[in-house]
Amino acid sequence: ADTTLHAAVDLGASSGRVVLGRIGPDTLEFREAARFPNGVINLPDGLHWNLVGLYEHALNGLAAAVRQAKPEGGLASVAVDSWAVDYGLLASPSHLASKAHGAAAPKQGDDAGSMTLLGTPFHYRDSRTGSGVEAVHATADFAELYRRNGLQFLPFNTLYQLAAEPLLAQAQKLLLVPDLLGYWLTGQMLTEATNASTTGLLDVRTTSSGAPEWDTDLMETLGLSRALFTEVAAPGATLGWTREELTPLLGQRLPVTLVGSHDTASAIVGTPLSTPDAAYISCGTWGLVGLELDEPVVTDASREANFTNEGGVDGRIRFLTNVMGTWLLSETLRTWERQSGKPQDLPALLEAAAEVPNYAVAVFDVQDERFVAPGDMPARIAELCAEQEIPAPETKPEIVRSIVESIAAGFAAALTDAARLAGRSIDVVHMVGGGSLNTLLCQATADRSGYPVVAGPVEATAIGNLLIQARTAGTLNGSLEDLRELIIRTNNPETYRPR
Ligand code: LRH
């Protein structure tokens, strides 16, 4: 009946995918058109992303989605989301020439449609951000920043990265990762609002207003030029059409629309929050634990508990905190792989971990800073346990079980904080994303928090991306609650009761 097809490009820290979805008032069907790996690239000057490679994978995935959609009526739109805070810097050839020669260069080819990416964008886990934190806090301390931007302290928030950015002086424009891919697809530059809220440069008082705006005073204080940034645009806006030059590959020109381009914003759209008191955990590399609110909470208590007020779709506030997610587990497996030269079997390890007796489980602080950078996690866990004078887990199943229980303990503490800080009670917790497949983690979270945990959908982010595209196309309408109603009707979740 009245359905449309859309393609969601969803880039996560460990993999990216292009998901083809058919959406209608009674229809929510989707399948993967492409999946490709992503990860940390270690270069002599630090940790980076291969964004050009991701763009190529996304293009090929979109081409596959176009082919698959053709006999079914064709694609109505596409949209990109990714992890937050990271960016690419751009400049036009003539701008670079004038920087190099100290003189104004000819204007040819100087339009915003043909800017060059400067350098290889950094990964937020790169350690250069440490010096950026010091530099920023020397000018504006964290309490002042929090009052203005409402963001939790994460050493890699964009504003800290920029204070340690070697190419800033050359740059004309900054685009966050999904907006950079959008630029490469369309030649058009915009900054999507939900992801802009993770830069630390958006005025938190405007986040829930429907027209989020940069904090230009803060930019000035930090020595950042307003001209470096584009206009902010809310989800639902149209970025543009794919460039003519891409048509030989894509087969046609496609409209590119803006959704919650911060993956977590799309994930929360795609979470079937079932009661007004429902909380969520969007669990992938990170566990984003919190509540959806109408207004930000920017109190001393929320600052001290490091709760963030990120911008959601439709001016909602994502009141949450970053807890360690599956990163600790995947880095642990990578370490064992390196050490043994053999691939590690996660399902088998989780099964063995479930049998580990309680006395062999160590609950340690997963928020410890030393877990942020890639590396030998089992060694760091042993070190931390020794410091805390708790017996360290020894066998692989003991280590895996201890990691899962420690993450769950982190989730439970964050849920308690969220309820206290927002002055609300919680009656159910929705676990979405890749972590929702981990039955041990879901059960441990229920046990440690005392709340029932409803698991799924796994692909909440792609679903949230697709739903906002369909609403923009006019196929769906209504509030986020109306959109979630469709997920509730078509999803069959597993519930874990606290024991
Ligand atoms: C999750 C996420 C999270 C951010 C982090 C950088 O993918 O977007 O919301 O804090 O990556």
Strand 41-43 vs strand 46-48: parallel, antiparallel, or unpaired? antiparallel
Instruction: State yes or no: pLDDT of 150 exceeds 90.
Output: yes
**62, HSE (Cβ side, Cα atoms, 13 Å):** 31
Q: What is the mean pLDDT of the chain?
A: 96
Residue 90's beta-bridge partner residues? 117, 173
Closest CA to 290 of 261, 253, 317, 329: 317
Dihedral sign for Cα atoms in the order 303, 305, 310, 314: negative
* In the predicted structure, residue 102 carries a pLDDT above the cut 80: no
Cα 383 to ligand 1 centroid, rounded to whole Å: 27
| pLDDT computed for residue 1 by the predictor | 56
Ligand 1 mean position, distance from CA 156 (Å): 10
Average pLDDT value for residue range 4-9: 98
Task: Indicate the DSSP class of residue 390.
Answer: -
User: Looking at residue 274, what is its pLDDT?
Assistant: 87
Per residue in 173-218, pLDDT (tens digit) is: 999 999 999 999 999 999 999 999 999 999 999 999 889 999 999 9
Q: CB of 211 within 8 A of CB of 202?
A: no
Query: Which ipTM value was assigned to this complex?
Result: 0.98
Q: Which residue among 10, 125, 288 is best mutated to probe the pocket of ligand 1, counting the most ligand atoms within 8 A of its Cβ?
A: 288
Ligand 1, closest atom to CA 310? Answer: 9
- Over range 57-71, report the average pLDDT: 98
pLDDT in tens, 417-466: 999 999 999 999 999 999 999 999 999 999 999 999 999 999 999 999 99
Confidence (pLDDT) at 100: 81
| Residue 74 reports pLDDT greater than 60 | yes
Q: What is the pLDDT of residue 88?
A: 98
Question: Ligand 1 — pocket residues by CB below 6 A?
Answer: 13, 83-85, 124, 262-264, 284-286, 288, 322
Taking the C-alpha atoms of residue 381 and residue 367, their distance in angstroms, rounded to an integer, is: 12
Please report which confidence band the pLDDT of residue 104 belongs to, taking 50, 70 and 90 as the band edges.
low
Find out whether 380 and 367 touch, Cβ atoms under 8 Å: no
For residue 17, give the nearest of 189, 208, 263, 204 by alpha carbon.
263
| Alpha helices by DSSP H, 187-230 | 193-196, 204-207, 216-221
The pLDDT of residue 106 is: 54
Q: Which of 263, 277, 365, 447 is catalytic?
A: 263
Mean pLDDT of 64-72: 97
Closest CA to ligand 1's atom 7: 83
